[in-house]
Amino acid sequence: SALGAAAAVAQDYPTQPVTIVVPFAAGGPTDTVTRLVAAAMSDELGQQVVVQNVGGAGGTLGAGQVAAANADGYTLLLHHIGMSTAPALYASLPFDPMTDFAPIGLVTEVPMTVVARKDFEPATLEDLVAYIKENGENITYANAGIGAASQLCGLLIMDALDTKMTEVPYQGTGPAMTDLLGGQIDMMCDQTTNTTSQIQAGEIKAYAVTTPERIAVLPDLPTLAEGGLDNFNLAIWHGLYAPAGTDPAILERLTGALQVALANESVGNSFAELGTYPVPADQATPEALAQTLEGQIALWKELIAAAGVSAQ
Ligand code: MLT
């Protein structure tokens, strides 16, 4: 029977390499997190887990591709908070985050850092705040397009300081970091998974973290709240998704593999060095991801509107 055949397919899964689409350029924060998780999932699934970078349109291009892919368990998406901000930022999206995907589990939550090219004038967070207020649009601010975490952080900073900077979009903050290191761009706000080693090596300037508390890998960095940006609180949650309609037995296998990958000691150590941590097993579940996604869509709809930004 067809039902029996489908059950057999799900039971044998995976029989070929699995692709995880990262909706940003290679070498950036989402790519880094995904490659660590993919390698550990590959060990558990007994098949290669390949990362494919589909950058563009702030992550919505890659997400749209996975929404439209075959729901056979061989094309997945690892995306972050952008899944929940895109509906507030785009008047029309080629996918519905809530209904076009089958959630597999939460993955991690990553603090952000406010950074600048090495010779950028402001020395401290206090100087930076004054400098942004004074120079506004003369400052170039890199982001990964509308819907990116870097764009969201910039939007919140500009709203808090009641000013605008000149936003320069990239396919991901990996390539943006290259330009920051080269001095072609002034500033960005990017995840610790992409900035920690450059900050520690003194190759870029760092002013603040976006979380309510300072972080262990960069203990000297003040929080934005310490710099007077009251209640500033931004951490970038990530989730793993399959297209909607994927066989429940395949989803269960993927959730199990994700949980094993996140419990892997070397994955945990790598995450810790990058300023983050893998979520515990009870968060690496479809239910936890669905609940987070739903709550975050509602929250960002409100906060983005409150910041005076309308969908385009
Ligand atoms: C990336 O992987 O390039 C970033 O996550 C982009 C961003 O959202 O800022």
Ligand 1 centroid–CA 112 distance in Å is 11
30 C-alpha to center of ligand 1: Å? 6
How many angstroms is it from 115 CA to the middle of ligand 1? Answer: 14
pTM: 0.96
Give CA–CA dist 293/6, Å, rounded. Answer: 29
Q: Are the C-beta atoms of 229 and 160 separated by less than 8 Å?
A: yes
What is the per-residue DSSP string for 86-153? HHHH-SS-SS-TTTSEEEEEEEEEEEEEEEE-TT-S--SHHHHHHHHHHHGGGSEEEESSTTSHHHHH
Residue among 55, 27, 78, 75 nearest 238 (CA): 78
* Rounded Cα distance, 122 and 135, in Å: 11
pLDDT of residue 1: 62
Distance CA 81, CA 84 (A): 6
Where are the alpha helices (H) located in 236-285, listed in sequence order?
Answer: 248-263, 265-273
With the most atoms of ligand 1 within 8 angstroms of its CB, the residue from 107, 173, 236 to mutate is: 173
Atom of ligand 1 nearest to the CA of 174: 3
Ligand 1: residues within 6 Å at CB?
A: 24-25, 28-31, 80, 82, 144, 148-150, 172-174
Ligand 1, atom nearest to 170 Cα: 3
Report CA(9)–ligand 1 centroid distance (Å). 35
Contacts of 270 (CB under 8 A, 6+ apart): 36
pLDDT digits (tens, 9 = 90+) for 58-100: 999 999 999 999 999 999 999 999 999 999 999 999 999 999 9
Is residue 28 a contact partner of residue 80, using CB atoms and an 8 Å limit? no
Query: Please, what sign has the CA dihedral across residues 106, 94, 67, 79?
Result: negative
User: Which atom number of ligand 1 is nearest to the Cα of residue 81?
Assistant: 8
How is residue 218 annotated by DSSP?
B
Cα dist from 144 to 78, 244, 253, 267, 296, whole Å: 16, 26, 32, 26, 20
Of ligand 1's listed atoms, the one at least distance from the Cα of 150 is 9
Q: Which of 247, 278, 213 is nearest to 36 (CA)?
A: 278
Q: Distance, CA 60 to ligand 1 centroid (Å)?
A: 12
Q: Which residues pair with 189 in a beta bridge?
A: 114
Instruction: Among 85, 112, 150, 188, name the best residue to mutate to test ligand 1's pocket (greatest count of ligand atoms within 8 A of Cβ).
Output: 150
Return averaged pLDDT per consecutive 10 residues of the chain, 312 residues in all. Answer: 69 96 98 98 98 97 98 98 98 96 98 98 98 98 98 97 97 98 98 98 98 97 97 97 98 98 98 98 98 98 93 87
Q: Could you give the 3-state DSSP secondary structure of residue 39?
A: helix
Q: What is the ipTM of this complex?
A: 0.97
Cα(288) to centroid of ligand 1, in Å? Answer: 22
Nearest 5°: the CA angle 229, 310, 291 is 75
Number of helices (H) and strands (E), helices first, in the chain? 11, 9
Q: How far apart are CA 77 and CA 64, in angstroms?
A: 10
Rounded distance between C-alpha atoms, residue 233 and residue 225, angstroms: 8
Tell me what pLDDT residue 11 has: 84
The residues, ordered by sequence, that sit 6+ positions from 4 with a Cβ below 8 Å of its Cβ are: none
